[in-house]
């Protein structure tokens, strides 16, 4: 993964932003979700209290994560589950493949899991001759289009219904030009039902795992995770090690926050609790994945990012995400939380992401587990300067600004020059390719005099 190209958010966002009609539509679609979230949050009188509880539980869990993981492993094993440990994405994929090979599996059904996206499981399994069917409707659309999810809760939020119609026409044989969501969903239901019945192993992600009981919880609206693992005899659950909560009762806090923050529902349609395999003839495999999480725990600055329960509320509210689309982040997790997490993996590759932020603070306000997201994004900028990862143009101009602000005389002179040049410079001199700032902006009208001059005239006696 070392030689991957550097992600430049502005460059990647350009095609999305260029389509004005589309980005307004995207913006509106996400704002609709954000409004539903506000309504739900407002209807729970103890909302802020719940956020505090969630934050405290997560802080405690991450502080003692090793102990809680051992407790979880012991209890899950006692229930008959098999617990595997993976240091990184490659090992996670190998473990899953080994289980599938041991069962001579050719077809798996998978429910939504950002972890397996992070690990690139689908491609790895397909390269090894296994048919992978994503069963969440949004994920299935994205999979058929050979794209990646652009949002962690709404994977196909960037795709229009006409485009879904085209994709389904090509792959599922629906009527050409059909774009009615009801009709398209029904077609997907029929198509996926056959896949469910043919699936030999079910793979799911994990929303929460409980140290005290050794169980795990999966939340879906479609029921795809449940259908996917209730038919075959083998269930593989893949989870990042930060998904743990200590006590069974802690679930009440997080389940109350999760769906309300994510989609503005009081709870997901299905909140399934798995404690050990179905029966003595079945298997439940749980794969615990580190993949950089233990390193993130060592960082005093960014540790709280491990509290994330992947609700996506920070994305829905982010003015930059809503207008630039999830793919512009080139990361499994986009948006504010993704801009904090991605540079912890590779600060040089993702150095532009902490700047894809207006520091408006809305993400921190909606975060159900109180991650100080905008503070962390600001902290990242400081970190990037320290690592000398800022572009040369910015480094030079920051140096120049520093000199300017330290000298009152220089500052006053620069102001005079600025006002004069704004008046006399022709348009072509300010608006050209050398000045990227003016691509979409006009320069301001210069004031007649400086504040310093006005103050001396009117107030200084």
Site for other proteins in 269-308 (CB under 8 A): 269-279, 281-283, 285, 288, 290, 294-295, 297-298, 303
Nearer to other proteins, 195 or 349 (CB): 195
Instruction: Check residue 64 for interaction with other proteins (CB under 8 A).
Output: yes
How far from the centroid of its chain's Cα atoms is residue 12's Cα?
17
End-to-end CA distance of the chain: 67
CB of 385 to other proteins, least distance (A): 25
HSE value, Cβ hemisphere, 13 Å, CA-based, for 250? 26
CB of 366 to other proteins, least distance (A): 18
HSE value, Cβ hemisphere, 13 Å, CA-based, for 249? 1
Show the site string, 431-450: x = touches other proteins by CB under 8 A, - = not: --------------------
* # residues near other proteins by CB under 8 A: 108
Residues 6+ apart with CB under 8 A from 115: 92, 205, 206, 238, 239, 240, 289
CB of 144 to other proteins, least distance (A): 12
CB of 170 to other proteins, least distance (A): 16
Pick one of 15, 24, 32, 48: the residue that binds other proteins (CB under 8 A). Answer: 32
Nearer to other proteins, 87 or 403 (CB): 87
Which of positions 373-402 make contact with other proteins (CB under 8 A)? none
Pick one of 1, 4, 70, 398: the residue that binds other proteins (CB under 8 A). Answer: 70
The two three-digit tokens of residue 226, written as one number: 């449940």
CB of 379 to other proteins, least distance (A): 18
Nearer to other proteins, 327 or 351 (CB): 327
For residues 115 and 167, the answer to whether their CB atoms sit within 8 Å is no
CB of 129 to other proteins, least distance (A): 18
Q: Is the dihedral of CA 254, 256, 260, 266 positive or negative?
A: positive
Q: Per CB under 8 A, which region of 54-62, 376-384, 413-421, 422-430 contacts other proteins?
A: 54-62
CB of 253 to other proteins, least distance (A): 7
CB of 210 to other proteins, least distance (A): 9
Residues 6+ apart with CB under 8 A from 424: none
CB of 142 to other proteins, least distance (A): 9
Which of positions 403-432 make contact with other proteins (CB under 8 A)? none
DSSP-derived letter for residue 443 is P
Which of positions 192-251 make contact with other proteins (CB under 8 A)? 192-193, 196-197, 213, 215, 221-224, 226-227, 230-231, 233-234, 241, 246-251
For residues 26 and 338, the answer to whether their CB atoms sit within 8 Å is no
Q: Locate tokens 């399934």: which residue?
A: 272
* Burial tier of 188 (Cβ tally within 10 Å: 0-12, 13-18, 19+): buried
For residues 303 and 344, the answer to whether their CB atoms sit within 8 Å is no
Which of positions 132-191 make contact with other proteins (CB under 8 A)? 135-138, 141, 154-157, 160-161, 164, 181-182, 184-186, 188-189
Pick one of 35, 56, 421, 436: the residue that binds other proteins (CB under 8 A). Answer: 56
Which of positions 104-133 make contact with other proteins (CB under 8 A)? none
The two three-digit tokens of residue 305, written as one number: 């990012």
Residues 6+ apart with CB under 8 A from 425: none
Nearer to other proteins, 9 or 158 (CB): 158
CB of 139 to other proteins, least distance (A): 8
Pick one of 93, 105, 261, 268: the residue that binds other proteins (CB under 8 A). Answer: 268
Helix residue ranges, H only, 287-372? 293-297, 313-317, 319-324, 335-345, 362-366
Show the site string, 72-111: x = touches other proteins by CB under 8 A, - = not: -----x-x--xxxxxx---x---x--xx--xx--------
User: Given strand 201-204, what is the order of strands in its sheet?
Assistant: 82-86, 283-289, 234-240, 201-204, 107-110, 131-134
Which among 25, 7, 72, 56 has a CA at the least distance from the CA of 288? 72
CB of 29 to other proteins, least distance (A): 5
What is the distance between the alpha carbons of residues 249 and 226, in angstroms, rounded to a whole number?
22
Nearer to other proteins, 7 or 210 (CB): 210
What is the distance between the alpha carbons of residues 30 and 26, in angstroms, rounded to a whole number?
6
Residue 255 has phi, psi (to 5 degrees) of -65, -35
């Amino acid at each position: 993964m070392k030689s991957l190209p550097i992600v430049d958010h502005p460059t990647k966002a350009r095609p999305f932003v260029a389509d004005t009609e589309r980005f307004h539509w995207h913006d509106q679609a996400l704002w609709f979700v954000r409004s539903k979230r506000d309504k739900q949050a407002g209807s729970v009188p103890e909302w802020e209290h719940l956020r505090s509880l969630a934050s405290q539980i997560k802080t405690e869990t991450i502080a003692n994560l090793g102990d809680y993981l051992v407790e979880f492993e012991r209890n899950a094993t006692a229930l008959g589950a098999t617990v595997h440990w993976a240091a990184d994405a490659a090992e996670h994929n190998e473990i899953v493949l080994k289980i599938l090979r041991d069962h001579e599996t050719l077809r798996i059904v998978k429910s939504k899991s950002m972890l397996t996206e992070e690990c690139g499981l689908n491609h790895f399994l397909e390269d090894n001759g296994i048919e992978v069917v994503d069963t969440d409707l949004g994920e299935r659309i994205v999979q058929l289009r050979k794209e990646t999810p652009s949002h962690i809760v709404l994977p196909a939020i960037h795709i229009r219904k006409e485009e879904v119609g085209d994709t389904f026409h090509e792959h599922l044989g629906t009527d050409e030009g059909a774009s009615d969501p009801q009709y398209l969903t029904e077609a997907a239901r029929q198509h996926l039902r056959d896949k469910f019945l043919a699936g030999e192993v079910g793979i799911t992600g994990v929303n929460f795992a409980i140290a005290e009981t050794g169980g795990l919880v999966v939340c879906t609206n479609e029921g795809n995770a449940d259908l996917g693992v209730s038919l075959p005899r083998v269930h593989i659950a893949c989870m990042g090690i930060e998904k743990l909560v200590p006590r069974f009762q802690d679930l009440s806090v997080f389940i109350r926050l999760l769906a309300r923050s994510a989609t503005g529902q009081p709870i997901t349609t299905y909140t399934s609790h798995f404690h050990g395999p179905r029966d003595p003839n079945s298997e439940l495999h749980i794969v615990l994945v580190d993949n950089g999480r233990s390193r993130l725990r060592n960082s005093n600055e960014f540790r709280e990012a491990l509290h994330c329960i992947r609700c996506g509320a920070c994305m829905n509210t982010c003015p930059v995400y809503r207008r630039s689309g999830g793919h512009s982040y080139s990361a499994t997790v986009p948006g504010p939380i993704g801009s904090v997490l991605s540079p912890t993996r590779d600060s040089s590759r993702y150095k532009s992401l902490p700047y894809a932020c207006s520091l408006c603070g809305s993400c921190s306000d909606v975060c159900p587990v109180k991650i100080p997201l905008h503070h962390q994004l600001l902290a990242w900028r400081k970190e990037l300067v320290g690592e000398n990862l800022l572009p040369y143009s910015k480094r030079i101009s920051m140096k120049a600004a520093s000199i300017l602000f330290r000298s009152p005389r220089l500052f006053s002179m620069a102001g005079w020059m600025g006002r004069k040049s704004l008046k006399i410079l022709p348009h072509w001199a300010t608006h050209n390719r050398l000045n990227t700032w003016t691509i979409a902006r006009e320069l301001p009208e210069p004031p007649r005099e400086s504040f310093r001059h006005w103050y001396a005239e009117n107030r200084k006696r």
